[in-house]
Homo-oligomer: A and B are copies of this chain.
Amino acid sequence: MASEAAADEASDTYSKFLQHVQRLSNVKHAGMVLSWDQEVMMPEGGTPARSKQRSALSTVAHEMLTSDEMAEMLDELEDEDLSDDRRAVVREIRRKHDRQSNVPRELVEEISEVASEAMPVWHEAKEEDDFSAFAPTLEKLVELKREYAEHVDPDRDPYEVLFEEYEPYLGVETAEEVLQCLRDELVPLVDAIRESDADLATDTFDGEFDTDTQEDLARDVLDELGYDWDHGRLDTAPHPFSSGNQFDARVTTRFSPDEPLGALMATVHEFGHATYTLGLPREEYGTPLGESRDMTVHESQSRLWENHVGRSKAFWERFLPTVKERFPEKLGDASVDDVYEAASEVYEDNLVRVEADELTYHMHIVVRFEIERDLIRGDIEVEDVPELWNDKYEEYLGVRPDSDAEGCLQDIHWSHGDFGYFPTYSLGSVLAAQLFANAEDDVENLDEKIAAGDFDDLHDWLTENVHRHGCQYTTDELVRQATGEDYTADYFLDYVKSKYGELYELDDYQ
């Protein structure tokens, strides 16, 4: 009888805890709706009120997460004998509770304020190509974020602590190793590509493409891939993103007359994010079991669809006829190879991350990673950034920016105070290759299925191995569950060497 009473009490605490967790999650999801609306729908004049609404929800969420009641429930539950699922829920909330409880609310608010003010400062500095105008703000943000890391854990490398905000489980050492490895392997590969005489059909998408028709095509590609319109929608936004939950996962993209392929790939990328979100278990909405794993896994889903599907020959065998129907005059004569080559071109002299190809992209990340890590660790000063940036571009990408606007001022992330975010882009691409290789092993004739427009088995594989688990497993556990081995860059390196070795006819890489 005693043990039954104890079990009842346990379940009472867990029920109460769960109710708090769900309410907290709903407040956060409400905040996401407000952000989506602000990016996509809100008239510009709405900003002052919207900022206050978002800040109020964020304060409410912070108080819920760090309340004494939450702390007590977490302590109680950690002494209890819980199922694996419940244990995972407690683990995820505990981690966030500890992080946020250790940081004074005033510091969080100061960072949020400085970051709000930093946005226009960064924007103008970029417009004016004047790094010195942004430098004091960047210095302040570096200082505040170091202070933040110090509160979270005074005994650890502050960059490690910040990195864990975006990828809590793979470890910053893995990030360092992987990025080092990408640098070591990709720099010579890109060199070899640049020396290649291969003549790729890089002018396939030259010209001006009507943006309304591009939007029709974006809807076509979402239809083709199986986007669930009852649970999503497509809009345009200056910076494409995806947002929502397993009942309502929306995508945005952007159109420019001379970038039809860019818009299409951005749409497929965001589709990958949304498909992950839609694959989360509905019955677990509002708990970590119904939330997506962090940035690495999310980015693996978008990159898998963008690169391993969207830039594959098989996909273009299927989709080219649709593109030709939309743009008969521009692309009537294009072959699958033409489009495949255009979609896979490695650019000679691109300086801009968001316009990079799938190979040099990672060199852009390496530059940012090395600089932000050293900034946060205090090994370099803000004033050193432009010179370092340009040197690294020259070293890793063989091209030197003429201006800071095209150099270290190009990305918005640091003005948000987001240090530690960049590596997850590459970590996600690496994981995409690992997952896709496993899907290829498990799904019979995956390539042929893609060429036939049959994406069901791939969807099923991803749902089964990734989506349905939510945050039940940590990132490293999830990778082992899905692939039978530890997280590794091997598959990514095999993939790019084989693909680009063949495309650029590189004897050493095929």
Interface residues of A (CB under 8 A from B): 22-23, 26-27, 29-31, 33-34, 37, 41-50, 52-57, 59-60, 228-233, 244-248, 250, 282, 285-286
Contact = CB atoms under 8 A, between A and B. Distances in A.
A30 B34 CA distance: 7
A87 B277 CA distance: 48
B26 A230 contact: no
22 contacts: A23-B59, A26-B52, A26-B55, A26-B56, A27-B53, A27-B60, A30-B57, A33-B37, A37-B37, A43-B229, A43-B230, A43-B231, A43-B232, A43-B233, A46-B231, A46-B247, A48-B247, A48-B282, A49-B245, A49-B246, A49-B247, A49-B285
Contacts of A52: 22, 26, 285-286
Contacts of A55: 26
Contacts of A42: 248
**Max chain B CB contacts within 10 Å: which of A29, A47, A232?**
A29
Nearest to A290: B49
B247 A56 contact: no
Contacts of A59: 23
A46 B228 CA distance: 11
A209 to B, nearest CB: 24
Give the residue among A41, A49, A247 with the most B Cβ atoms within 10 A. Answer: A49
Given A26-B53, A41-B233, A48-B282, 19 more contacts: A23-B56, A23-B60, A26-B55, A27-B56, A30-B31, A30-B54, A30-B57, A37-B37, A37-B41, A43-B229, A43-B233, A43-B248, A43-B250, A45-B228, A46-B247, A48-B247, A48-B285, A52-B285, A52-B286
B45 A33 contact: no
Contacts of A54: 30
Nearest to A286: B52
The 4 closest A-B pairs by CB, nearest first: A46-B248, A26-B56, A45-B231, A49-B247
A174 to B, nearest CB: 33
Contacts of A231: 43, 45-46
B286 A247 contact: no
A30 B59 CA distance: 13
Contacts of A33: 33-34, 37, 53
Contacts of A30: 30-31, 34, 53-54, 56-57
A432 B216 CA distance: 46
A50 B247 CA distance: 9
A282 B48 CA distance: 9
A44 B230 contact: yes
A294 to B, nearest CB: 20
Contacts of A48: 247, 282, 285
**Which of A54, A56, A59 has the largest count of B CB atoms less than 10 A from its CB?**
A56
Contacts of A232: 43
Nearest to A44: B230
Nearest to A229: B43
A248 B60 contact: no
Contacts of A282: 48
Nearest to A42: B248
Nearest to A282: B48
